[in-house]
A and B are shown apart, each in its own frame.
Chain A
Amino acid sequence: MHLPDGFLDARTTVASATAAAAGVAIALRQVRTTLEPHRLPMLGLAAAFVFAAQMLNFPVAGGTSGHLVGGVLTAILLGPSAAVLVMTCVLIVQCFMFADGGVLALGANVFNMGVVNVCAGYAVFALLRSFTRMEQRRSMVFAAAFAAWFGTVLGSILCAGELALSGTAPWPLAFPAMANVHMVIGIGEGLATGLIMLVVMRNRPELLDAREHGARASLSFIGYGLLTCAGLAVFVAPFACGWPDGLEKVSQLLGFERQGANAVTAPFADYCLPWIGSTTAATAIAGLIGTLLAFAAAYLLARVLVPALRAPRKDAASGN
């Protein structure tokens, strides 16, 4: 999902960078006021951990392999605001040490993978935790696995919206492709997140007690929620339901609209895949089914994994 430079046009770059900056500003404010000083090095170490985790490949069917992205995992382990900062730092290092993801596209990447993925995933996790009446560890694994899947898919949909808004890839193609691929990738992410949560809960459950909480946290939740909704409204809504393009008006007002962008997006407006009637509707239905399937899969995972916990298993107990 790392967008390279050159795929986004000026207005999308500016809009996504503004959204990312707002998200990081909320996170910074929250971390400054609530993070205890002795937890500060943990941010850096968690960022290094996420990066190291991304380099270990999980085997997937047919000799291919995938790796963890880790946004939702970090949010569950450290709290959402810390996770936003951690993921932002990971993306900055990936950009300036490995040329992975563009410099100008850094705003879009931070918004997709650092803000929306983390915050929406954490919100789903918190909701599921409060609504399920299961044994504590089981509900943790279930909520973590589903939240990780959800965050991945939502991030990819935003990515598709940004590409479509820039006129690089037409929405009827970009949306199903990105969403479907990431609905599959998200299974791996959810599975890995659930398994890792289980290992941490089994060995050091007290690490999970030190997360942020309190009245100020809910204030930042409102901020993240508004930001996520704004992102969806700007990048996805114009394609999904034919709303007027709000960003177009804003960019006309501000005068930085580029001439090419309009001419490029127009031919795609009524574009439909020949072999499926209406792709957006088809994908929406497929997405609904996929969501239900992922929900059931996460529940099954928790059912299967957590009873095994009662009988102590030696093989997964320690690293060395």
Chain B
Amino acid sequence: MQLPATERRTGASVSRTPPSIKLGTALALVLFICLLPRRLTATYGIVAGILLFLWPLCRMPFLFALRRLLVMEFFIAGVALLSLLTPSATPVVLAALAKSNLCVFTMLLLIWTTPFHDILGQLRKLRMPTVMLTTLALMYRFLPVLLEESRRMQRARASRTFSRRRRLAWDNLAAILGQLFIRSAERAERIYLAMCARGWK
């Protein structure tokens, strides 16, 4: 799984609209879609039309949308499969399918045009508690670092291991993850010292 790159989105005009408007519009659309009646009506088509109109404006690549939609489709398809076994529920399931796909698509447009730190800024304006904000901000900052670190450890481990037995693979991954936790704990201590050195509190 790749982290969405931020630098590619700067060109789109939608990217330059204020994040509050983008977030508000997306949430309103999702709310509207979720409140639609539970059978397929023309309104679903209208919403899909709106999203298709917004798509080129947001300049979201087709492959990005497809890949992210497919990830969600596993769960959606699982629930749909369950419900298709009961004949009376078919319109409900079709509506739920349409709803969840439209909602995921709306969120994808938001994600493509809005970097996470903009969303963090909005959450701060909405008075989210400081502990949560700090945690979210640190998480956003160190996510790529830890991912890179885990990949480095995996590569190092793979270059020293000449067996593909499953037992060993589990042992290796657990060792890597345990070590990753220890390293993140040590990094957290250093971050605290660095925060204090820069006058935190």
Q: State whether these chains interact.
A: yes
Chain A positions within 8 Å of B, measured between CB atoms, are 1-8, 10, 13, 24, 28, 31-32, 37-49, 51-53, 55-56, 58-59, 68, 77, 85-86, 88-90, 92-93, 95-100, 102-104, 163, 167-170, 173-174, 177, 191-192, 195-200, 203-204, 207, 260, 264, 267-268, 271, 315-320
Write out the residue numbers on chain B whose beta carbons fall within 8 Å of the beta carbon of A13: 34
A41 touches B85 (CB 8 A): no
A169 touches B79 (CB 8 A): yes
Contact flag A51-B185 (CB < 8 Å), given A44-B134, A191-B170, A319-B153: no
In the complex, which of the residues B86, B108, B135, B177 has the most CB atoms of chain A within 10 Å of its own CB atom?
Answer: B135
B82 touches A45 (CB 8 A): no
Cα separation A55 to B129 with both chains bound (whole Å): 28
B150 touches A56 (CB 8 A): yes
Q: In chain A, what residue has the closest Cβ to B87?
A: A267
A45 touches B86 (CB 8 A): no
Write out the residue numbers on chain A whose beta carbons fall within 8 Å of the beta carbon of B184: 42, 45-46, 48-49
Write out the residue numbers on chain B whose beta carbons fall within 8 Å of the beta carbon of A68: 177
Write out the residue numbers on chain A whose beta carbons fall within 8 Å of the beta carbon of B86: 170, 173, 267-268, 271
Contact check: which of A4, A37, A77, A96 meets B116 at CB < 8 Å? A96
B30 touches A103 (CB 8 A): yes
Cα separation A217 to B16 with both chains bound (whole Å): 46
Contact flag A174-B38 (CB < 8 Å), given A43-B138, A168-B96, A200-B182: no
B125 interface residue, CB < 8 Å from A?
no
B58 interface residue, CB < 8 Å from A?
no
A104 touches B182 (CB 8 A): no
B77 to chain A, nearest CB (A): 11
Interface bits B155-192 vs A (CB < 8 Å: 1, else 0): 01100000000101111111111111111110111011
Binds A, one of B7-15, B48-56, B141-149: B141-149
Chain B positions within 8 Å of A, measured between CB atoms, are 1, 3-4, 26-27, 30-31, 33-35, 37-38, 68, 71-72, 75-76, 78-79, 82-83, 85-86, 88-89, 92-93, 96, 98-104, 107-108, 110-111, 116, 119, 129, 131-132, 134-143, 145-147, 149-150, 152-154, 156-157, 166, 168-185, 187-189, 191-192, 195, 201
Cα separation A36 to B194 with both chains bound (whole Å): 16
A319 touches B89 (CB 8 A): no
B156 touches A320 (CB 8 A): yes
**A-side binding surface: helix, strand, loop or mixed?**
helix
A48 touches B138 (CB 8 A): yes
**B-side binding surface: helix, strand, loop or mixed?**
helix
A316 touches B175 (CB 8 A): yes
Q: Can you list the 8 inter-chain pairs with the closest CB atoms, starting with the nearest?
A: A44-B138, A199-B178, A6-B99, A195-B174, A5-B103, A6-B100, A319-B179, A47-B139
Cα separation A123 to B169 with both chains bound (whole Å): 30
Task: Pick 11 A–B contacts, CB within 8 A, sort by A.
Answer: A5-B34, A37-B192, A38-B192, A44-B136, A46-B184, A47-B136, A47-B139, A58-B170, A86-B135, A103-B26, A319-B157
A53 touches B177 (CB 8 A): yes
Q: In chain B, what residue has the closest Cβ to A191?
A: B170
Write out the residue numbers on chain A whose beta carbons fall within 8 Å of the beta carbon of B103: 4-6, 102-104
Write out the residue numbers on chain B whose beta carbons fall within 8 Å of the beta carbon of A268: 86, 89
B146 touches A48 (CB 8 A): yes
Cα separation A316 to B160 with both chains bound (whole Å): 12
B15 to chain A, nearest CB (A): 16
A37 touches B174 (CB 8 A): no
Write out the residue numbers on chain B whose beta carbons fall within 8 Å of the beta carbon of A174: 79, 82
A52 touches B79 (CB 8 A): no
Write out the residue numbers on chain A whose beta carbons fall within 8 Å of the beta carbon of B129: 28
B136 touches A92 (CB 8 A): yes
Q: In chain A, what residue has the closest Cβ to B139?
A: A47
B73 to chain A, nearest CB (A): 9
Cα separation A68 to B150 with both chains bound (whole Å): 14
Write out the residue numbers on chain A whose beta carbons fall within 8 Å of the beta carbon of B152: 320
Cα separation A169 to B181 with both chains bound (whole Å): 38
B195 to chain A, nearest CB (A): 7
Write out the residue numbers on chain A whose beta carbons fall within 8 Å of the beta carbon of B147: 52, 55
Cα separation A240 to B195 with both chains bound (whole Å): 51
Q: In chain B, what residue has the closest Cβ to A7?
A: B96
Cα separation A318 to B100 with both chains bound (whole Å): 43
Besides A59-B170, A98-B71, A103-B107, 13 new A-B residue pairs in contact (Cβ under 8 A), listed by A number: A1-B75, A4-B72, A6-B101, A38-B189, A42-B188, A49-B184, A51-B146, A56-B150, A173-B85, A195-B171, A198-B174, A267-B89, A320-B156
Contact flag A4-B75 (CB < 8 Å), given A99-B68, A198-B174: yes
A101 to chain B, nearest CB (A): 9
In the complex, which of the residues A48, A58, A98, A315 has the most CB atoms of chain B within 10 Å of its own CB atom?
Answer: A48
Contact flag A48-B185 (CB < 8 Å), given A170-B83, A320-B156: no
